[in-house]
Amino acid sequence: MDKEKVASTKRRLQDDQVYAALAETFGALADSNRAKILHSLMNEELCVCDIACLIGISDSAVSQHLRILRTLRLVKQRKSGRMVYYSLNDEHIKVLLDVCLEHTQHG
Amino acid sequence: MDKEKVASTKRRLQDDQVYAALAETFGALADSNRAKILHSLMNEELCVCDIACLIGISDSAVSQHLRILRTLRLVKQRKSGRMVYYSLNDEHIKVLLDVCLEHTQHG
DNA sequence: AAAATAGTTTAGTAATTACGCAGATGTTAA
DNA sequence: TTAACATCTGCGTAATTACTAAACTATTTT
């Protein structure tokens, strides 16, 4: 074991909570339905029932997915009457999706 | 429900397996110990026991994490005698970590 | 006011996941 | 060969997660 290398790497590491936050955010992306939702929102905002229809799961399930994504600031909502429209929160999300897509489709 | 919007968005969606692959890769990043491992590997390669010592979990657990990361081509290995050195597979990983880090640290 | 609509929340269940432990494989040293 | 070391694999357990169904909130329509 290389004690020197371990020590110098340890110095570069951040607090545990930083990695916990990273993992939590990646976790929000780690579900095919949520990935589909985010990809659907890349061009235009959609309401809950549009998304439910689009990907074929219940309104309830969509709402729960959106709550997870909203909590982590991956999507934002705009309320209008009884409708709630969702859109991507910022450009980070598109980059994450694009880079990961590129990685999975070849490497 | 906006049938037109749903239809046009549906046309832009990819096959289910694309989202499954995305989710699987994000899932590999969705664990704080794996995030820590990947961050540790940003500067230099490390062997299994170095990583185990660094983040404070068993060799066995590290090995299992590395298998997950290797399967999804997030890390690659170099064997030398009985040691196995791991490093990041390509630049995508750094981008994903950096962009996500930026997102979590502010938004 | 009553009914319908859009969305959220809660509860229960089935499936997945991360871990340590124990055992197996493979490599180097005595 | 025997011993020691580095890593990997299989198993059982505890915790997490995603889903449906049902109940609830809030808004609009009749």
pLDDT tens-place string over residues A9-51? 999 999 999 999 999 999 999 999 999 999 999 999 999 999 9
Structure tokens at B5: 């919007």
What are the pLDDT digits (tens) for A66-81? 999 999 999 999 999 9
CA–CA separation, B65 and B52 (whole Å):
11
For residue B77, pLDDT over 60 is answered with yes
Is the minimum distance from the CB of B47 to strand D below 7 Å? yes
pLDDT digits (tens, 9 = 90+) for A84-101: 999 999 999 999 999 999
Domain of residue A70: give its range: 3-105
The CATH number of the domain holding residue A13 is 1.10.10.10
Number of CB pairs < 8 Å for A and B?
168
What is the tally of structural domains in chain B?
1
Contact, A49 CB vs strand D, < 7 Å? no
What contacts A94, CB < 8 A, 6 or more positions away? Answer: A42, A88
Cα radius of gyration (chain B): 18
Amino acid B1: pLDDT: 78
- Output the distance from B55 CA to D12 C1' rounded to whole Å: 24
**Per-residue model confidence as pLDDT tens digits over B40-55:** 999 999 999 999 999 9
Residue pLDDT, tens place only, B10-22: 999 999 999 999 9
pLDDT value at residue B107: 56
Task: Indicate if CB(B9) is under 7 A from strand D.
Answer: no
Cβ <8 Å between B73 and A103: yes
Please judge whether A47 and B9 are an interchain contact, meaning their C-beta atoms are less than 8 angstroms apart. Answer: no
Say what the pLDDT of residue A7 is: 93
Lowest mean pLDDT among A5-9, A32-36, A61-65: A5-9
CB atoms within 10 A of CB B1: 12
Interatomic CA distance for residues B16 and B25, integer angstroms? 14
Nucleotide nearest to A56 (CA to C1'): D19
Q: Which residues pair with B18 in a beta bridge?
A: none
Query: Does the nearest atom of strand C lie within 7 Å of A48's Cβ?
Result: yes
Sort out which chain B residues have CB atoms less than 8 A from A42's CB and list them: 12
